[in-house]
Structure 1
Amino acid sequence: MNLLGAFHRGHRRRGLAAITGPVLRPADAGYTAEIAGFNPAVARRPGIVVGARSEDDVVAAVVGAGADGLPVGIKGAGHGFCADPAAPVLLSTRRLDAVVVDPRARTARVGAGATWGQVLAAAAPHGLTALVPSSTRVGVAGYTLGGGVGLLARRYGFAADHLQRLRLVTADGRAHEIDGDRAPELFWALRGAGRNGFGVVTELEFALFPLVRLYGGGIVWPAAAAADVLHAWREWAPTLPDELGTSVALLRVPRDAGWPAPLHDQTVVHLRFAGADVEATTGDALLSPMRALGTPLLDEVGELSPTATDAVHREPTAPAPVHDGGAALRDLPTTAVDALLAAADVDVASPLTLVELRALGGALSRAAAVPAAVAGRSAAYALHVRGRAAVPAPADRPGAVPGATTGVADAVAAVVDAVGPWSLGGPLPTFAGAGEPVELWSPRDQARLHLLRQAVDPGGMFAAPSPA
């Protein structure tokens, strides 16, 4: 099939000439850069890539692909894909990156290709912040549509709960304004389950929050302290007020993100801590039980600039091939920590690079003011496991993650299986790229989502779950 031909047909007759952004095939200059993602372990080689510069470009691309029944994958500017990377047509939204802040209404209107770093930079001069994830390089759209558990989530809840309006291009090539009044059922679904199966989100509007100061950072101990730190953290984290968020990780220190050179490639225990408008004296007092565990290799917790949120987790900044997984946990008894430690081998010979536990609860456990399809509100903790994967050869099946090459898939699964007795059945999508959290939705919500997807995308143009 000639993929270019699809863009010359369609019920609106909007051909290639209607698309103002680049339309690239594998032999074209710029093709490789356009399809490159943050996780090169996910193979992709679409027949056509459309670099949308406007919502009209998105409409034209969807109509053209729909004329021949071609599935469409969606790529933003962040870490993952919002649809099937094996699709023959890839729609890149990274150029839709406008950010407009309304300081009076405390809202941001953001294009689907924007990253959280852009939002923070626009909001901070007005004394405002957003519900950012642990890395500001993450794209706004995919993260928010999947729920979104950020640094301030225990205080304010899921990012999706604070979405106020979206623009959505559906499989019939029509653009829609979606909010709680104009399309309440679809508004419910998009907020938590909107990454797949409904269409292309081109714009989002969401609430911002006042922020005077940010207290946070990380404390690092050697790997030998893992048992002491994790058991102490298990007892300490539930005592924190909702204003404070925390996680702890067994981590292979990467060679980027500002990590000191002496720690590069070492396995460490990394405690993360963050709070909005928390005085340093208050934060220090709350953190004192963990600081009493012994002399750390590094202690970076203190007052931070409101835009310095990346300093808390120090997530990798360079693309790398990874395979990840996780679980939402109902509780974390001593036996669960022991099981996790027995399975989590993050030494130099292991493919694992991260085993993280994040405390949930607080506002995350409360229902949204406007109902949303967010999954995992009953979880007390989130487990995220990540390991090095191999980069697939160009001839490999698109979308494949070659875990068998390095054993990483088995290593990740072993850690997840170890906490199976305390798992709710699946990962929160914020922490793992293995697709949707089907096990975390009730049968009623699963059926509701299925019917809505059938209604707006009966041909399955956007139906495939995201593997990255």
Structure 2
Amino acid sequence: MSPGRTVLVPGDPGYEDEVGGFQTGFAQRPDAVFAARSAEDVAAAVTYAAAEGLPVGVQATGHGLPGDAEGGVLITTRRMDAVTVDARARTVRVQAGVTWRQVVEAAGPYGLAPLNGSAPGVGAVAYTLGGGLGLLAREFGYAADHVRSLDVVTADGRLRHVTAESSEPSDDGGLFWGLLGGGANLGVVTELEIGLAPVSRLYGGALAFDGRAVDPVAALRAYERWTETVPDALTSSFAAVPYPDVPALPPQLRGRYVVSVRVAYTGTAADGERLVAPLRGIGPVLADSLREMPYAESSTIHSDPDFPHAYYGDSAVLGTLDPDAVDPMDAVHVVDAMGELLALTGPDAPSMYVVQVNHLGGALARPRPNAVPHREGRFLVRVLGGVDGPARELLHRALATVEPWTIGRALNFAYGAGGTGGADTLGARGLYDPRTRERLAGLKSQYDPANLFRRNYGVAAVSSRA
């Protein structure tokens, strides 16, 4: 190891802090953890793991762990935190440990915004490699759609600069395609360059309703109908959350079952008010945070928890949730199914669940040269719950209610749902359509035939397929 390189093993001072992250529900106990400060440190870690035949995991913030992990090598990237904005080109270069908060802060002074998600503490690179469903997604698409280049260490220990027009004879742009949507299957991305949006302010916030005073299913049905009327410049989600009665929460939310609609709109505040007006008919408003705001305050739209905690979660991409579907009974059945899902996960459930329904479509539906799948989906249903066995079982029972309309799952919203046992585990099923999975498998065979990068939702390699 070169001077200054930090490698920790169990029992070393600092080991526990190094392997810890935002997700506290799953334990990571690697044989060695490389605290990377540079791409060279990452390459050294991968080379060591390959020589020893050890699996490799990567952690920036630890939000999206696929499950418990014992042994192997863990590369932590939190110290790789450089952010460089090119205002003229409307791009930003971010290293592997950068959070979205850092990118928002760096881009804001130039009147630009990244295509970040709702939680500013999430790692920008990992989120982008999983697709990246952001606050402005219906207008601009997935974050992965805007990546210009990536620096990645592959299983052979090489640091490669990858673009859509790769000049390497062994690659026709396939590695670029596969990294964007394929997660951590093909290598360790140390840095990427991504486009920024010309957005400095937006109209956004949330309308919250008492879920015991209004019918949550009727509220969801009203939300679905409303989504048919909005432009692509408006991205939104519906949520149902039984809040605990704790002093840390605002008084109006304590102990209540809250259904809400969250909105981000890049048009004028006047047009925003006009667009959201029909939602006020859902019932008496419990809380209203809708306003014009600088983009730097966009994290207040969802106000996601910013403290480490334990959770388990999964998702379902729905092909329809449409009362005006060709087969009217299909629409009736899916609404009934969503009602059952909300009942199973509501305030009478044995543990706390968070349900979120994201409106897709718009720019998200446009084909792009990357591996982000299921672009035809109309809605994404996400459920979060506890990590114990009964809580997980009920969560999957809830998602099973919408299985007839489910076309797949979302990589960025599978939290512990499958484990880290290797390629094509149960947890990887449904994350990709067959054609995308086949191409990813070919790339896996080319760049990681020994399946070194298997501390994730794996895709199996196949021989002699590119």
Q: TM-score, normalised by structure 1?
A: 0.88
Corresponding residue number in structure 1 for 2:325: none
Q: CA deviation at 1:41?
A: 1.4
Pairing partner for 2:47 from 43, 63, 68: 63
Find the residue that maps to 2:122 and give its secondary structure.
Answer: coil
Corresponding residue number in structure 2 for 1:157: 141
Q: CA deviation at 1:78?
A: 4.9
Alpha-carbon distance in structure 2 between the residues aligned to 1:208 and 1:292? 36
- After superposing the two structures, state which structure 1 stretch, 356-365 or 293-302, moved more: 293-302
Corresponding residue number in structure 2 for 1:249: 239
Corresponding residue number in structure 2 for 1:173: 157
Q: CA deviation at 1:37?
A: 2.1
Corresponding residue number in structure 2 for 1:447: 438
Alpha-carbon distance in structure 1 between the residues aligned to 2:87 and 2:245? 38
Residues 272-283 of structure 1: matches in 2 within 5 Å?
Answer: 272-276=262-266, 278-283=267-272
Q: Are 1:216 and 2:216 counterparts?
A: no
Alpha-carbon distance in structure 1 between the residues aligned to 2:451 and 2:147? 25
Corresponding residue number in structure 2 for 1:378: 376
Alpha-carbon distance in structure 1 between the residues aligned to 2:85 and 2:248? 29
Corresponding residue number in structure 2 for 1:10: none
Find the residue that maps to 1:77 and give its secondary structure.
Answer: coil
Alpha-carbon distance in structure 2 between the residues aligned to 1:455 and 1:188? 14
* Alignment CA distance shift 1:365-1:116 (3 Å): same
Deviations 1:190-210 (A, max 9, x none): 1111x2321110001000011
Find the residue that maps to 2:340 and give its secondary structure.
Answer: helix
Q: CA deviation at 1:142?
A: 1.2
Corresponding residue number in structure 2 for 1:366: 366
Q: Are 1:235 and 2:225 counterparts?
A: yes
- After superposing the two structures, state which structure 1 stretch, 86-95 or 127-136, moved more: 86-95
Pairing partner for 1:431 from 396, 405, 413: 413
Q: CA deviation at 1:444?
A: 2.8
Task: Name the % identity.
Answer: 39
Find the residue that maps to 1:27 and give its secondary structure.
Answer: coil
Corresponding residue number in structure 2 for 1:5: none
Contact 1:215–1:280 (Cα < 8 Å) also in 2: yes
Find the residue that maps to 1:328 and give its secondary structure.
Answer: strand
Structure 1 gaps of 5+ residues are 1-15, 390-402
Alpha-carbon distance in structure 1 between the residues aligned to 2:414 and 2:304? 14
Alpha-carbon distance in structure 2 between the residues aligned to 1:111 and 1:90? 17
Contact 2:27–2:67 (Cα < 8 Å) also in 1: no
* Alignment CA distance shift 1:115-1:256 (3 Å): farther
Pairing partner for 1:301 from 284, 290, 314: 290
Corresponding residue number in structure 2 for 1:394: none
Q: CA deviation at 1:49?
A: 1.0
Alpha-carbon distance in structure 2 between the residues aligned to 1:36 and 1:257? 27
Question: Would you say how many aligned residue pairs link Structure 1 and Structure 2?
Answer: 431
* Alignment CA distance shift 1:343-1:293 (3 Å): closer
Q: Are 1:458 and 2:446 counterparts?
A: no
Contact 2:117–2:135 (Cα < 8 Å) also in 1: yes
* Alignment CA distance shift 1:257-1:29 (3 Å): farther
Corresponding residue number in structure 2 for 1:133: 117
Which amino acid counterpart does residue 269 of structure 1 have in structure 2? V
Find the residue that maps to 2:296 and give its secondary structure.
Answer: coil
* Alignment CA distance shift 1:149-1:255 (3 Å): farther
Alpha-carbon distance in structure 1 between the residues aligned to 2:89 and 2:34? 34
Q: Are 1:118 and 2:116 counterparts?
A: no
Corresponding residue number in structure 2 for 1:351: 351
Q: Are 1:324 and 2:313 counterparts?
A: yes
* Alignment CA distance shift 1:185-1:386 (3 Å): same
Q: CA deviation at 1:81?
A: 4.1
User: Could you say what the CA RMSD is over the residues aligned between the two structures, in angstroms?
Assistant: 2.1
Q: CA deviation at 1:410?
A: 1.3
Which amino acid counterpart does residue 280 of structure 1 have in structure 2? A
Corresponding residue number in structure 2 for 1:292: 281
Deviations 1:33-88 (A, max 9, x none): 11112221112211211110111111111111221111111111251248983342
Pairing partner for 2:189 from 177, 191, 201: 201
